[in-house]
C-alpha cells in the first residue's frame, strides 16, 4: 500500500497489506518484499501484524505518522501524539515499534518504495529507438506529481536531513537509482562507459531531488517554471552523451 492509499485508508477504506517493507525495481516497477529488521532492534519492528485487524491498526499508525511529520516535524513528533492521532493506545504503538525513530524509519522505507515505483513507471520502455527526452520528462513528471501529493513527504524529506539513519536510507536509494539510470542511459548510448554513466546519473538524481523539494513548496505556476528549467538543464547535460532526438 503506498502513502496515497494510506491517506484513503485514514478515511475508512482499508486494504490488507503485508507488513514486509518493499524495494522496487525502477526498470520494471515491481515491488519485492524485504524482511524487516530483527525483532527487538532499536530501529526495527518489535512484531509483525498478522491478523486483519492488526494490519489495519498498523496502517492507521503509519498514516497518522505521515500526517504528524508534515505538521510538527521530527522534533515535535512523539509516540503520545502518534497514538492520539491514530486513535490507539500508546502501548499499541509500542507493540509494533520500539520508539518513535523506528516508526519514522518504517515510514521512510514506505516513502522510498513509492519513489522507486514512480521512477520505474517513468523509465519503462526506454530503448535505443525511443525518444529519451520524452521518457526523461515522464520520469520527472511522475516523480514530481507523486511527491506533491504524497502525505508525509515534506516531513520525511526534512527528517532525512536531520536523522542519520534516514539520511542513509535516502543516499542508498539514490545510489541504487543512479545505477538503474546508468544502465538505462547505456541502452540508448552503448558506448557510454558504465562508471561515467553512474556519475552522470547521480548528478541528475541529486539535482532533481533538490529542485523537486523546492518546487513542491511553490505555487503551481512558479513550480512548473522551475520544473521546466530542470528539464532543460538535464537535456543539455545529456545531449552530448545520448544525442539529439
11, 40 contact by CB (below 8 A): no
Residue 149: all three cell numbers together: 501529493
- The three-class DSSP label of residue 71 is helix
Nearest to 96 by CA among 21, 31, 26, 150: 21
Angle at 139 between CA 231 and CA 211, to 5 degrees: 50
DSSP state at residue 41: -
Q: Do 127 and 188 form a contact (C-beta atoms < 8 A)?
A: yes
pLDDT at 45: 79
> What local confidence, expressed as pLDDT, does residue 17 receive?
30
3-state helix, strand, coil in the chain (%, to 5): 70, 5, 25
Averaged pLDDT, 18-39: 37
Secondary structure class of 14 (helix, strand, coil)? coil
Does 83 score more than 90 pLDDT?
yes
CA distance 96 to 91: 9
CA–CA separation, 18 and 1 (whole Å):
9
Lowest mean pLDDT among 15-24, 131-140, 202-211: 15-24
pLDDT-derived band at 41, boundaries 50, 70, 90: low
**What b/e sequence results for 198-220 when a residue is b if at least 16 CB atoms lie within 10 Å of its CB, and e otherwise?**
bebbbebbeebbebbbebbeeee
DSSP classification of residue 24: E
Q: Cα 134 to the chain's mean position, in Å?
A: 22
Tell me the C-alpha distance between 116 and 108, whole Å.
12
> If you average pLDDT over each of 33-37, 55-59, 200-204, which comes out highest?
200-204
CA distance 101 to 188: 42
Q: Which fold has domain 3-242?
A: Tetracycline Repressor; domain 2 (1.10.357)
pLDDT tens-digit map of 161-171: 888 999 999 99
Amino acid at each position: 500500500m503506498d502513502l496515497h492509499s494510506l491517506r484513503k485508508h485514514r478515511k475508512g477504506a482499508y486494504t490488507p497489506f503485508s507488513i514486509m517493507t518493499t524495494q522496487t525495481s525502477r526498470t520494471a516497477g515491481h515491488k519485492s518484499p524485504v524482511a524487516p529488521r530483527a525483532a527487538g532492534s532499536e530501529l526495527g519492528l518489535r512484531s509483525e501484524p498478522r491478523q486483519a485487524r492488526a494490519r489495519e491498526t498498523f496502517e492507521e499508525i503509519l498514516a497518522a505518522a505521515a500526517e504528524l511529520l508534515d505538521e510538527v516535524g521530527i522534533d515535535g513528533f512523539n509516540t503520545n501524539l502518534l497514538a492520539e492521532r491514530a486513535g490507539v493506545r500508546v502501548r499499541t504503538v509500542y507493540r509494533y515499534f520500539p520508539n518513535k525513530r523506528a516508526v519514522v524509519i518504517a515510514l521512510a522505507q514506505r516513502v522510498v518504495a513509492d519513489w522507486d515505483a514512480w521512477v520505474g513507471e517513468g523509465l519503462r520502455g526506454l530503448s535505443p529507438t525511443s525518444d529519451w527526452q520524452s521518457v526523461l520528462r515522464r520520469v520527472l513528471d511522475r516523480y514530481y506529481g507523486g511527491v506533491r501529493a504524497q502525505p508525509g513527504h515534506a516531513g520525511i524529506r526534512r527528517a532525512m536531513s536531520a536523522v542519520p539513519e534516514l539520511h542513509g536510507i535516502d543516499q542508498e536509494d539514490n545510489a541504487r537509482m543512479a545505477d538503474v539510470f546508468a544502465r538505462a542511459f547505456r541502452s540508448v548510448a552503448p558506448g557510454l562507459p558504465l562508471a561515467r554513466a553512474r556519475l552522470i546519473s547521480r548528478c541528475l538524481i541529486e539535482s532533481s531531488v533538490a529542485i523537486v523539494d523546492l518546487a513542491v513548496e511553490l505555487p503551481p505556476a512558479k513550480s512548473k517554471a522551475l520544473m521546466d528549467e530542470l528539464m532543460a538543464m538535464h537535456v543539455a547535460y545529456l545531449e552530448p552523451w545520448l544525442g539529439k532526438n
